[in-house]
Chain A
Amino acid sequence: MASVAIIDYGRGNVRSVKNAVEHCGTDAVVTADAHVLNDASHIILPGVGAFGDAIAALKAQGLPDILRDQVIAKGKPFLGICLGMQLLADRSDEHGAHDGLGWIAGDVARLDPGPDALKIPHMGWNDVTLTAAHPLFTRLKPDQLTFYFVHSYHFRTADNAHQLARCAYGTPFTAAVAKDNILGVQFHPEKSQDSGVALLENLVRWNP
């Protein structure tokens, strides 16, 4: 029986993530406690706000080490959402240079408004193109691959093999990453109605 721990580090709308996971019929708990995390079968790292501030908040609660134990050492299925995905990178240049968790090689850079002077943040529903097959997207038909995004920065993976899906806003950017048991999505499944709930259902059924 799956049970999902949603990391609470004082950033982001964690209640919506909990609501959406519970809507899948799965137990969910919002926590920063090592013992509670140890009891969970799956871990979600949500997050909105600024990269440096979020890393500092994680460190203040000793979470990088706790998560490393659960996700890297024990191999628990993990999903980072939005900033929670970007935090997996080696570094970000959002408001100064900051080190990330370094679990998936790459860096985080500001979206380029390009010649069309696109509006930043990239906010709203956009189509996602899968670049690899993965259980996270099973049962989602091609016309269901539309998700809600809100972000100003994007994850540039160093190795294309870690990219699971792309989205285009002016230029293509990484919409989802995967490396072993570690997954990340730039969009918000908890805000993406049926498509997002289906993705979270896939996550809690996934036992790599």
Chain B
Amino acid sequence: MLKKRIIPKFLLRDGRLVKYVRFDEQPREAGNPVSTAQVYNDYGADELIILDIAPSDASRAKVLDIVGRISEQVFMPLTVGGGVRRLEDVTDLLRAGADKVAINSQALRDPGFVKAAAQAFGDQCITVSIDYRDIGNGVFRVFGDGGRAGSPHDPISWAKRMQDANCGEILLTSIDRDGTLSGYDVEIVARLNAALDIPLVVSGGCGGLEHCIAAFGAGADAVAISSLFLFTDHSPIKLRSHLVSNGINVRASKTSRN
């Protein structure tokens, strides 16, 4: 039976691992991405997500180098994104060792880009990353450029449109909850899951075991976790054993497999 996935999420700024709260406060330093990836590999994480949150020509080269070094030592799927604007960017990341490339702002600028990328590299290579926030009165809107650029799109209709553009997976992030450890936005997760035929990774707000159980209960295929692993004593091993004992179908923990 297909397992629910636990995916540590790395945010990179200028090649350094950082963590924000709600996208816009001062980042906290969070360590070396390559050594942290090895630790998560040893802990039996199911995949890694690596996002460059302040992409530039200089950071692009650093990200390619980091992805290359991680892929030499860590044998699990890597989703990499941030500043992906051209098909050549996708090629570069896949060559560096990425398995999936996350497209966010460029999809908002040019929805045809997702379709072109899926056609060129295969649907399963293309993840569309959707950042959204509550703009008041219970209205949700998708934001690009790291939460700075508004759009007219509702996250659910946008996700369906991206599915129709042949992306292979959706990474959904609540800006309002990101870094707050206050729990996933389960209501949107459930609505989006009901609307989608492709896998859904949910991100933003995980602060504990019960939040993961709620997200999986709402239909998420995977949970992305950042602050919880970086700044608390939770690890994928501990989370996994808790989830197993709560009846969630995840991989057996690495310690029990060895």
Contact = CB atoms under 8 A, between A and B. Distances in A.
A16 to B, nearest CB: 5
B168 interface: yes
A143 B256 contact: yes
Nearest to A196: B75
Contact of B123 (A121, A125, A192, A197): A121
Nearest to A23: B75
A123 B167 CA distance: 13
Interface in B69-117: 71-73, 75-77, 94-99
B75 A193 contact: yes
B197 A119 contact: yes
Contacts of B76: 148, 191-193
B44 A15 contact: no
Chain A CB count within 10 A is highest, among B41, B71, B252, for B71
Interface in A113-151: 113, 117, 119-127, 141, 143-144, 146, 148, 150-151
Interface in A162-196: 168-169, 188, 190-196
Interface stretch (B1-9, B49-57, B130-138, B205-213): B1-9
B225 to A, nearest CB: 16
A125 B251 contact: yes
Contacts of B44: 193
A20 interface: yes
Nearest to A121: B124
A117 B197 contact: yes
Nearest to A200: B75
Contacts of B196: 119
Nearest to B77: A191
A35 to B, nearest CB: 24
A152 interface: yes
Contacts of A125: 2-3, 5, 46, 251
**Range class of the B interface residue count:** 35 or more
A66 B257 CA distance: 40
Given A119-B221, A146-B251, A191 B1 contact: no
Contacts of B95: 15
A117 B46 CA distance: 24
**Range class of the A interface residue count:** 35 or more
Contact of A19 (B5, B71, B256): B71
Contacts of A151: 124
B258 interface: yes
A143 B257 contact: yes
A19 B75 contact: yes
A19 B2 contact: no
Contacts of A148: 46, 76-77
Interface string B37-62: 00001001010000000000000000
Contacts of A64: none
A144 B98 CA distance: 24
Interface of A: 13, 15-16, 19-20, 23, 48-50, 113, 117, 119-127, 141, 143-144, 146, 148, 150-152, 168-169, 188, 190-197
Interface of B: 1-5, 41, 44, 46, 68, 71-73, 75-77, 94-99, 121-125, 168-169, 196-199, 221-222, 251-252, 254, 256-258
18 contacts: A15-B68, A15-B95, A16-B97, A19-B72, A19-B73, A23-B75, A48-B121, A48-B124, A50-B122, A119-B196, A121-B123, A124-B199, A125-B46, A126-B2, A126-B3, A143-B252, A190-B75, A196-B75
